[in-house]
Amino acid sequence: MYNRWLVVVVLAGIISPALESQATPRSPGGLIRLLIDRAWRERRGADFECGRELAQEEEDRATAASLVEFGNAALPDLEKVLNSLQKDGENSEYAINPGVLLLAYASIRGRDAYARLHVMVGDPRLEFLQPSVDGAITIALDLTSYISSSEPLEDGVICRALDPRDSLDRLILAWEKDDRDKVQADLGPVASAALLSVLEKSGPWESMRLSFWPAPPGRIVSVGYRFLGAGVWSKPLATLETVSRPTKNPDAATGFGAMFTDASGAPCGQMRIRFSTLPEFPNAPRPWGAVRYVVDNADIGDVLHVIGLCAAR
């Protein structure tokens, strides 16, 4: 539902507030059941289509926002959802539309939701849910993004415009997973040249990795960050708010200050992250297309080192 990777379309979905208000239950359990039943009705057996997906997400956000208005009174029902997901994984009755429910839980509890959500990171029964868990932790810790190595490193379709954080997210995940090709794929020309210079000094990729990545191999790690003074660009991608973002970011080249955090949200480094843009994806649906951002720091070695230090904490 809230997968962050690749290609992208900007399209608006519109629902009727009048119809929604007539159908909306007046209890937390009723709202949760509405989200689940609606997902089965709208998505079961349906071919993927961006317009329908965007309209459904907008409707789900509105329903989840109503759930959040109940505050702590909604927590027993949401805890039931989390318990079911942890116990039954993809066989849970809530597995069809869990992301928005996790966001509601994090929105109500704030930072207090972190401990409950963090135990779900890396749970093999919840592999399908990892991007949504990370999205909810992002809300709980008040970050721009939170990326755990338990997320899948794969390309997909996203029905929105890409923005700079997509590139940084992919870079962090690729570095967490030690995927050299994916790391290099999200670097611009300046950063690519800088990485080659780092490798000339350090020796092979493996030697550089040992120097820049102190975390034990095979361990599930997580790194978060918050863009500083970036306005709308600092807001999470997965949110119950409707956030209007421009399709292009004029400040990307000068970059954003980024406060990096460890898995618990504690600050562990600060750097300015700069971006370049590449031509739109060749297979992007017309007429929308997509501008692709890539990280383009001349000090890319320092960026990778900070990420590694944060992951090791």
- Whole-model pTM: value is 0.87
What are the residue ranges spanned by the domains of the chain? 17-148, 164-312
Residue 12: pLDDT above 70?
no
Q: What is the pLDDT of residue 265?
A: 97
Residue 243: pLDDT band (50, 70, 90) is low
According to the model, what pLDDT value does residue 5 have?
42
For 142-164, the pLDDT digits (tens) are 999 999 999 998 766 777 777 88
Q: Nearest CA to 92 among 113, 62, 59, 120?
A: 120
Most confident by average pLDDT, 17-21, 141-145, 276-280: 141-145
Residue 311 has pLDDT above 90, yes or no: yes
**Percent of residues, the chain, with pLDDT higher than 90:** 65
Q: What do you get for the CA distance between the two ends of the chain, in Å? A: 30
The two structure tokens encoding residue 299:
């000090």
Mean pLDDT of the chain: 86
pLDDT of residue 246: 60
| Rounded-to-integer distance, Cα 240 and Cα 60, Å | 9
Task: Name the residue type at position 107.
Answer: S
Q: What is the average pLDDT across 210-221?
A: 91
Task: Pull the structure tokens for residue 19.
Answer: 């119809």
